[in-house]
Structure 1
Amino acid sequence: MGNPDKKELGAELANSFCKTDPEIAKHFARTTFLTDKREILADTRHPVLILQCSNDVIAPIEVGHYMHSKIPLSTLVIMDASGHCPNLSAPEETISAISNYLYDQ
């Protein structure tokens, strides 16, 4: 998860994965790791909020900048949170970023 100082979060995430139906997990993994759809990012016609953690080993900050540069009408928020699951590691910051985005729309 990328939060070595919060080991309980890694355990929570691992526990949720263990409860996932294996067929769903297999489909998720295949889609996540074997699909490249960068060519369709520019086709997005709706506003998009990109929440990017400041330190994420799975999706480095360059990923957020890349997506923001390719998706029209996107808003990029670089969060202070670290790791890949800010909804777990920094829920208040995540809620605040989403609320601010929705309020500004």
Structure 2
Amino acid sequence: MERRWHHRTEIDIPATLAVNGKRRPTPCRIINFSACGLFVETAESLARHQFVQVHIHPHGVSPRIIDGMVVRVADGGVGIEADTRFWSQALDWG
């Protein structure tokens, strides 16, 4: 049984994923998020404990960057633990 510390909110928004050591961010989609992290769909091959940045481009606002570490690898995506807790409260998801 999977247990989580924080409630997850389902969402589907485009973003880009920057991986340490790679030149360009690649497209991804944020599928859900919580106070401590997010799950993104990506074609990028990633490993647990790899450091990444998720770039979110909200309408009419400067891009937001979430620094984090891959904590879960699944088919088609990864779970990322955000470097800053409660990071999602600062974003307007509308």
TM-score in terms of structure 2 length? 0.23
TM-score in terms of structure 1 length? 0.21
Larger radius of gyration: 1
RCO higher in 1 or 2 (8 Å CA, sep ≥ 6)?
1
Which protein has the bigger strand share? 2
